[in-house]
Amino acid sequence: MEYKIETNSPEETREFAKKMAESAKPSDVITLIGDLGVGKTVFTQGIAEGLGIKDTVNSPTFTIVQVYDEGRMPFYHFDVYRIGDIEEMDEIGYEDYFYGDGLTMIEWANLIEEILPEKRTEVTIEKNPEKGFDYRLIKVKTID
């Protein structure tokens, strides 16, 4: 299944993500693909909010994964932008997160394509300069 939505502000993107999080189930995996500055972290903040997490969620700069335990289920936020080698994922025991009891969200998921679970929700965010600075096209595709 695939659908698209358009947003015209960070608030709208956050609100959309928040609604998505409300129907999330343990061991769901959401991958996020899109260029730098497109809104992956904004989207992630909406997901966190939807799970009831009040902590500030930013891109984990020095760690690949950030864990938030205060929501309705654990939230595992990966940003694999700086990953050098796929073995780094083995070292942190990624399977415990991906197939665990929380919601996993992976920014720059295309960089670790070979280890992504087959069953996942792929979110792609794109800009379109012709439609304005704050315009974003968000595509959601369920794969299983």
Interface with ligand ADP, residue 121, by CB under 6 A: no
Q: Which residue is nearest to ligand ADP (CB)?
A: 39
Residue number, 27 or 110, with CB nearest to Mg ion? 110
Give CA–CA dist 129/112, Å, rounded: 28
According to CB under 6 A, which one of 18, 41, 139, 141 is a site residue for ligand ADP? 41
Binding residue for ligand ADP (CB under 6 A) from 134, 137, 139, 141? 134
What are 34's two structure tokens?
Answer: 């899109």
> By CB under 6 A, what part of segment 50-109 binds ligand ADP?
59
Token pair in block for residue 32 = 């996020």
Q: Which of 102, 12, 10, 91 is nearest to 52 (CA)?
A: 102
Contact range with ligand ADP by CB under 6 A, out of 19-27, 33-41, 46-54, 94-102:
33-41
Among 1, 23, 37, 56, binds ligand ADP (CB under 6 A): 37
Nearest CB to Mg ion, comparing residues 24 and 33:
33
Q: Is 15 in the site for ligand ADP (CB under 6 A)?
A: no
C-alpha 102/C-alpha 23 separation (Å) is 13
List the end-to-end C-alpha distance of the chain, in Å, as a whole number: 10
Using a 10 angstrom Cβ sphere, with 0-12 exposed, 13-18 middle and 19 or more buried, the burial of residue 118 is exposed
Q: Least CB distance from residue 101 to ligand ADP, whole Å?
A: 26
Q: How far apart are CA 132 and CA 105, in angstroms?
A: 27
Residues making contact with ligand ADP (CB under 6 A)? 7-10, 12-13, 34, 36-42, 59, 134, 136
